[in-house]
Structure formats: structure tokens, C-alpha cells
Amino acid sequence: METIKIKPLSANQAWKGRRYPTPAYNQYKQDIHYLLPPSVFIPTGKLKVKYLFGVSSKAFDYDNGIKQFQDCLSKKYGFNDNRIYRAIIDKIDVSKGEEFISFSIEAL
């Protein structure tokens, strides 16, 4: 593993001014809220998440859906996503109309 000594740049530091959610993102947040199970056990302490994105577009980068989905999870289940210290992210190709997101949240 290669290492460079630089402080990671946060999204807030990378963007000038306030970013406003699009109507599509607002709808996505609402849809996710209703599609997620009513409750999920969230362990205390540091967390590990696993995400599997089933995508129909070959242009979808594996990391494109993480922040938006993770923000929805943390809001729905009442935890701060800064507790996530490890993430395993996968994507698979699926047919159009068969897209999905699978996830798990575990103690690290």
C-alpha cells in the first residue's frame, strides 16, 4: 500500500459556497426513507459498513452512491456517519429496472 502525507480534504472544504440538493436528491431521500426497514440494530462504537450497488449503467463509478445513501442511513437510524471506520463497497451489473442497494452495519 502506498502512502502520501496529506490531510484528506472534506467535501465542505472542496466546495465553495452552499450546495443545494436537487429535486431528484430530495425525492431519493424520501424514497429511501420509506424503503428502508423501520429499524436496524446499530452497534455502539466504531462501525463497519458493507454496500452492494446493483447498477445498470456501466458509467456508474462504484463510489458515486455512497455519500447520499450513507446520509440517508444515518438520518433514518439516528447515528453519526463519522463513526464509520471501515467500508466494503461493491457494485454489480444488473439489467435496467433491476437496480438495488444492499447494506449491512456492524461493529468494527
Cβ contacts of residue 47 below 8 Å, gap of 6+? 79, 83, 84, 85, 86, 105, 106, 107, 108
Taking the C-alpha atoms of residue 105 and residue 40, their distance in angstroms, rounded to an integer, is: 8
Which of 76, 65, 70, 97 is closest to 34 using CA atoms? Answer: 76
Dump pLDDT digits (tens) for 28-37: 899 999 899 9
Tens of pLDDT along 6-36? 676 666 666 676 778 888 888 989 999 989 9
**99/44 Cα distance (integer angstroms):** 31
pTM of the model: 0.85
Predicted confidence at residue 17, as pLDDT, reads 67
Q: Which segments in the chain show pLDDT lower than 50? A: none
